[in-house]
Amino acid sequence: MFDKLIGVEERFEKVEQLLSDPAVLQDREAYQKYGREHADLSKVVDVFRAYKLVVEELEDSKEMLKDNDPEIRELAKEEIETLTARKETFEEELRKLLLPKDPNDEKNIIIEIRAGTGGEEAGLFAGDLFRMYSRYAENRNWKVEVMNQHFTGVGGFKEVVAMIHGKGAYSSFKYESGTHRVQRVPVTEAQGRIHTSAVTVAVLPEAEDVEVHIDPSEINVDRYRSTGPGGQSVNTTDSAVRITHLPTGLVVTCQDEKSQHKNKARAMKVLRARLLDTMIREQNEKRSEERKSQVGTGDRSGRIRTYNFPQGRVTDHRIGLTLYKLDNIMQGDIDELIDELATYFQAEALKKEEDGT
């Protein structure tokens, strides 16, 4: 680990020199690139330098143990205990900082929420989840842009697809992919019985054109009349777009904009994100199960969380966490869930790193 840290510090110092180089200062793209690298490296270097100071102080304190004065030796013992704890804390933090980073962490996301088993109640809960995620994003000043939506008869969603624009959006949302189960008395239930319904969530990192190239000859674009709630142009113009990616059979529709061109552009964004997600999952499937855990991929087909309304609790089954604050969570206060998941998967990654797998 320490060889890596020395290399990181050397690279940090090199980047600092480059940022003051007149040639780099005149090249906006290069300056931004090195600026981002400098910011990333500084997170590690700041901790490493603090760690080295603690190590020096610890060595000095150990020398004090040789002093003839018993009071100084006693003081040295206390300092050694404190400094050893700080040293271990820094070592743990440095191990985490040196873990391979997910290259998608800083990206915007496309989130797809679909009603599963449970009929109208599943559609209503799909709407509840979408509002929960929207409020969480808005609290961070991230922009939520609805790209496509299909409503149910009682005000829920059969499906809603949205883009969330914000630095670090993927790192926050990436553990939300999976099946979310709800247990509550539906508004349509006359007998007051608790029903169990399910909603699926997929979180996709936004894909750039350079990451996923789509050959125009490999897509089929259909235009049709929009349906459902909307402005006067919905139902009167052929503005809705359906794109089929012929090699994979993926189909994306978008009808929320009045402009056919805007709908096509949005549909292409969703298609690129789905293709990138497919590529990532295929790469992960080629690796061992241990590597899958390390990068934090989840099994979308598995139940990941249960929202129990009668008991006011939320349980995340992957980490065995239960919180009795359902009302706050449904209002977008999901920081504790996200932090606990990130900590768990980070700890799992550290175990694999230490085991050399």
The pLDDT confidence band at residue 215, using thresholds 50, 70 and 90, is confident
Query: Smallest Cα–Cα separation from 138: which of 162, 103, 174?
Result: 162
Instruction: Dump pLDDT digits (tens) for 13-41.
Output: 999 999 999 998 999 888 988 998 898 88
Are the CB atoms for 140 and 164 separated by under 8 Å?
A: no
pLDDT at 234 over 50: no
Instruction: Dump pLDDT digits (tens) for 175-201.
Output: 999 999 999 988 766 677 889 999 999
Q: Are strands 143-151 and 195-205 parallel, antiparallel or unpaired?
A: unpaired
**31-35, 142-146, 220-224, 305-309 — which is least confidently predicted?**
220-224
Domain segments of the chain as ranges? 2-97, 108-357
pLDDT value of position 312: 95
Phi/psi class of residue 235: alpha, beta or left (left: φ > 0; alpha: ψ in -120 to 50)?
left
Question: What is the average pLDDT across 119-145?
Answer: 94
Are the CB atoms for 294 and 168 separated by under 8 Å?
A: no
Average pLDDT for the chain: 84
Q: Which CATH class is domain 108-357?
A: alpha beta
- Look at 51 and 262; give whichever has higher pLDDT: 51
pLDDT at 287 over 50: no
In order of 80, 240, 294, the CA distances from 320 in angstroms are 37, 43, 19
pLDDT at 291 over 50: no
Query: Smallest Cα–Cα separation from 176: which of 276, 89, 297?
Result: 297
Phi/psi class of residue 147: alpha, beta or left (left: φ > 0; alpha: ψ in -120 to 50)?
alpha
User: Tokens at residue 110, please?
Assistant: 């496309």
pLDDT value of position 46: 93
Q: Alpha helices, DSSP H only, in the chain?
A: 2-19, 22-26, 28-64, 70-97, 119-139, 169-173, 260-286, 289-295, 326-330, 335-355
Interacting residues of 57 by C-beta distance below 8 A, sequence separation 6+: 79, 83
**5-9, 90-94, 153-157, 169-173 — which is least confidently predicted?**
153-157
Rounded CA-CA distance 233/180 in Å is 35
Are the CB atoms for 270 and 147 separated by under 8 Å?
A: yes
Using alpha carbons only, what angle is made at residue 189 by residues 183 and 123, rounded to the nearest 5 degrees? Answer: 60
- Look at 355 and 206; give whichever has higher pLDDT: 206
Are the CB atoms for 271 and 245 separated by under 8 Å?
A: yes
pLDDT value of position 228: 55
The pLDDT confidence band at residue 134, using thresholds 50, 70 and 90, is very high
The hierarchical CATH code for the domain 2-97 is 1.20.58
- Look at 166 and 259; give whichever has higher pLDDT: 166
Q: Is 337 helix (H, G, I), strand (E, B) or coil?
A: helix
Rounded CA-CA distance 271/253 in Å is 9
Helix axes 28-64 and 2-19, enclosed angle (nearest 10): 140
Q: Are strands 303-308 and 109-115 parallel, antiparallel or unpaired?
A: unpaired
The pLDDT confidence band at residue 227, using thresholds 50, 70 and 90, is low
User: DSSP labels for 40-100?
Assistant: HHHHHHHHHHHHHHHHHHHHHHHHHTT-S-HHHHHHHHHHHHHHHHHHHHHHHHHHHHTSP
Query: Smallest Cα–Cα separation from 335: which of 132, 195, 125?
Result: 132
Element housing 246 (H / E): none
Strand order in the sheet with 219-224: 219-224, 240-245, 250-254
